A and B are shown apart, each in its own frame.
Chain A
């Protein structure tokens, strides 16, 4: 089953083409990694999927619901409320965590299911505690974000996104703001999700992680997807010269 379908999406910032005719499908249970040099449009692509940016043209379908379609050259979005409903099917994890500093870890995880999905506090609490257990932070339920290390914050952020039961998880360089020691615990957490067949799209600069964990890897350059393959093929036998150059530069 296709969870995320992106068709011919383009996006401009002023006269800069951030995305040029990007098409991509993500099947249920896939972990797709996106690599590419800085400014190639990776974040922009994720941000278009959960409506933090609006596309210029193209079509995005999430779990059968159309987030945006283009008619007569104009991108058409449904009403605000419908957009919100569709976007809660995606969970995003940011590079800088963006936890709510005035809430404890437990409250950070509980607030959206309770306030947005209107689920009962008791059920949500039980589930939130389970999620904290999954990310290995049961002991930090009552701590505030300021009392956690970067890696711990990122794991709480992952739990917070999972609490909404998204159909697909989006990660935007989840380990780029972390020091090497804490990077590993976050990677381990994401690998746990991969093993559970959580559908995800991961922007990463960590080639080892992309190679070992992803089921498929995309290479983006100047707003385009230039190459797409299994990790093994893509890293061992890169076809596009720009990918070859990119891999050369990250290896050295």
Chain B
């Protein structure tokens, strides 16, 4: 182990990590709430809403994330050219922006599916109790169903979040300067794979921290389910 060499690698790897985290957090902040309207749409009584939501979820879950990324970054500006130069300009994004847009749309579909399953797993008796107490459909959803859904979706959402950390490495393909790209560049430049080991270590640290956070959330949101007898 050459500590002097590792030290020379660290600045570029860490600034790559900062970019990785930026994509990660922005995607998360945008896609977690965006999943909800699609989940509600997928179980809506209004069929056009249901249809559109299901198509959305199906397309984004059913095609490779890499394809979506290439389409948004390379394909969309070309397509927009047909509608006029101002449209093409509008969709000619920086690679980081294109990455965040794609990831947000993609992860919203996965979260929507998780939320939908969570909402539908709530016992029918809860809907009936709320209905007989006079709650409207929206009140029932907001006050009774969704709060219970949160506790149930935390484990599957955590899985997705951990996958997201690793998926951010895909954006190397459109040249975004994140952690994997920094490692790859170092390897190519120095013909020395040490940077890959360091990058792996950093990814492991990130997923480890996220595992702890998700465990904490799980406990925090399922407190009421524990039959603790208080004194």
Q: A residues within 8 Å of B by Cβ? A: 50-52, 84-85, 87-88, 90-92, 94, 96, 98-103, 111-112, 115-117, 143-147, 160-161, 164
Contacts and interface: CB of A to CB of B under 8 A. Distances in A.
B229 A147 contact: yes
B198 to A, nearest CB: 44
Contacts, number: 70
B125 A96 contact: yes
For the complex of A and B, list the 6 residue pairs with the smallest distance between their C-beta atoms, beginning with the closest.
A98-B129, A112-B133, A98-B125, A88-B134, A116-B134, A144-B224
B228 A90 contact: no
Given A100-B126, A101-B224, A102-B224, A50 B132 contact: yes
Contacts of B143: 111, 115
A144 B132 CA distance: 21
Contacts of B126: 98, 100
Contacts of A103: 224
Which of under 10, 10 to 19, 20 to 34, or 35 or more describes the interface residues of B?
Answer: 20 to 34
A219 to B, nearest CB: 26
Nearest to A91: B132
Given A94-B125, A94-B129, A147-B230, A101 B134 contact: no
Question: Is the contact region of chain B dominated by helix, strand, or loop, or is it mixed?
Answer: helix
A98 B133 contact: no
B131 A102 contact: no
Contacts of A143: 230
B18 to A, nearest CB: 38
A144 B228 CA distance: 9
B141 to A, nearest CB: 13
Contacts of A100: 126, 129-130, 144, 148
Contact of A98 (B128, B151, B224): B128
Contacts of B139: 115-116
27 contacts: A50-B132, A52-B132, A84-B136, A87-B131, A88-B134, A91-B132, A94-B125, A94-B128, A94-B129, A98-B126, A98-B128, A98-B129, A100-B126, A100-B130, A100-B148, A101-B148, A111-B143, A112-B134, A112-B135, A115-B135, A116-B134, A144-B223, A146-B226, A147-B227, A160-B133, A161-B133, A164-B133
